[in-house]
Amino acid sequence: GEDVEQSLFLSVREGDSSVINCTYTDSSSTYLYWYKQEPGAGLQLLTYIFSNMDMKQDQRLTVLLNKKDKHLSLRIADTQTGDSAIYFCAESIRWPGNTGKLIFGQGTTLQVKP
Amino acid sequence: GAVVSQHPSRVICKSGTSVKIECRSLDFQATTMFWYRQFPKQSLMLMATSNEGSKATYEQGVEKDKFLINHASLTLSTLTVTSAHPEDSSFYICSASAGGSSPLHFGNGTRLTVT
């Protein structure tokens, strides 16, 4: 079946790097996403990676994909207090005519201490 | 970048009444929109897929007569919670995609409280 797993909590000090990990089960995933959710708000798309890529970097964010192990990670460099939020990993499942159905992980709460 | 607007952001209603939530794609046409429900400290649960010009596809366990979805245009989908009960209180989030391999973008969510 389809399943996405994340660790629930991560605490880092301001200025350190944060690494949030995610594992998924469906080898037919097309896109893998990272979303950020601040309290009481919707989801903000941070970045996504296509399944034929190994790495994608966008400013402070680096996404690594290990297809063999079905492991996805999000690294935030120079973590700031404003990065404190819940981070969701999600995969899109092949669905005839529609690639937008997402399966979400439980979310990782990132706490950044000053 | 792509923007999805969701209204209202917060609504309080009495049991038995109906509430309509709107989801609009502001700078792209969305043939497909999705409605999610999120319980406190939990992940998002997909409720239904809204297809422009056709009936919505509901996930297993979601009552289609209770959660009415209308996708009347390429930029607007609505979710109506009918005869709301306190257990319907939740955070509802919509998302939209321009289709194909485009990523999903999410609205800011609607906090529904049924008293």
| Any B CB within 8 A of A34 CB | no
Query: Which residue has 């919670």 as its token pair?
Result: B81
Look at residue B76 and tell me whether its pLDDT is greater than 80: yes
Asked whether the beta carbons of residue B93 and residue A43 sit closer than 8 angstroms, the reply is yes
Interface test with A, best of B26, B57, B93, B106 (most A CBs within 10 A): B106
Average pLDDT over chain B, rounded to whole? Answer: 90
Confirm or reject contact between B100 and chain A (CB < 8 A).
Answer: yes
Q: Is the dihedral of CA A49, B94, B39, A102 positive or negative?
A: negative
**Cβ-contact A34, A74 below 8 angstroms:** yes
Strand, coil or helix: what is A107?
A: coil
Coil/strand/helix, residue B42: coil
Tell me phi and psi for residue B83, to 5 degrees.
Answer: 45, 60
Core vs surface per residue A70-104: b (16+ CB within 10 A) or e: bebbbbbeebeeebbbbbbbbbbbeeeebbbbbbb
CA nearest to A4 within chain B = B43
Query: Hey, what are A20's tokens?
Result: 């949030």
Q: What is the pLDDT along chain A (114 residues), one digit of tens a residue?
A: 568 999 999 999 999 999 999 999 877 777 888 999 998 888 888 998 888 889 999 999 999 999 999 999 999 999 999 999 999 999 886 543 354 578 889 999 999 999
- Omega of the bond leading into B8 within 30 degrees of 0 (cis): yes
